[in-house]
Chain A
Amino acid sequence: MENEMRSERDERGWTQAVLAERLGVSRQTVVALETGKYDPSLPLAFRIAEVFGKPIEELFFPNTGLKSGDQPRRSRV
């Protein structure tokens, strides 16, 4: 699964530690989420959506296999 967490955090000027604090998780978890190493549980995904003030489907989308730099195809859940 791909996500827009890193760019959303970047837009807000938050460090990974700040985002971790807001989500109530560790910085290690934020790194794993942003790099796609870990897909969050549904409750955590909802918390992430709440923290960024965006619906889940605008933050997470299925892995399309596109290369880095390509625009991922967003699919509605």
Chain B
Amino acid sequence: MTRDLDSVKESPTELRRRRAFRVRLWIATGCYLIASFVLYQWGHTDSPWRVVWALLPVLFMAWVVILIVLRVRQLDEYQLKLFFPGLAVGFTVSMFAAVTIGTLSAAGFTVPNAGWPVALIGIVSWEVTNLLVKAPVA
């Protein structure tokens, strides 16, 4: 009987929260991509508003960060336990990548778009750790 009761379905609250998070995340990511496209197309001007244009996509990234923080606050104690190793590894690897790029720059090497490799390495190491520890799927 117990086996019949071991369905893989999430509870209604869990499902509702996850769907809401995904919808908001996709909207925020879409806004970021649109803002980035706008910046790429029309941001390279000598206008005094250039800084505003350049920072516009960052506002949507801040929105993504807020969404993630709110989602983390919804996690229960076991999910939090699984969630934090990924953050810790992602942060450590990102810092290591940033220091490595900084060291290369100090030695005279040119590292183009240095922020992006750091972000990419951090996200990949975060996700790989999440897979290894079977962290909850957001």
Contacts and interface: CB of A to CB of B under 8 A. Distances in A.
Contacts of A21: 11-13
Given A26-B76, A28-B136, A29-B76, A15 B5 contact: yes
B20 to A, nearest CB: 15
Contacts of A14: 5
Contact of B5 (A9, A33, A38): A9
B94 to A, nearest CB: 27
B11 A38 contact: no
Given A9-B5, A14-B5, A26-B136, A32 B78 contact: yes
Contacts of B8: 27
Interface of B: 1-2, 5-14, 75-79, 81, 136
Nearest to B2: A10
Given A26-B11, A26-B14, A16 B5 contact: yes
Interface string A1-27: 000001101100111111011001111
B130 to A, nearest CB: 13
A40 B81 CA distance: 11
B79 A29 contact: yes
B78 A27 contact: no
A27 B14 contact: yes
A48 to B, nearest CB: 12
Nearest to B10: A27
A26 B9 contact: no
5 contacts: A6-B2, A9-B5, A15-B6, A17-B12, A17-B14
A44 interface: yes
A5 to B, nearest CB: 11
Contacts of A24: 13, 76
A10 to B, nearest CB: 4
Contacts of B81: 38
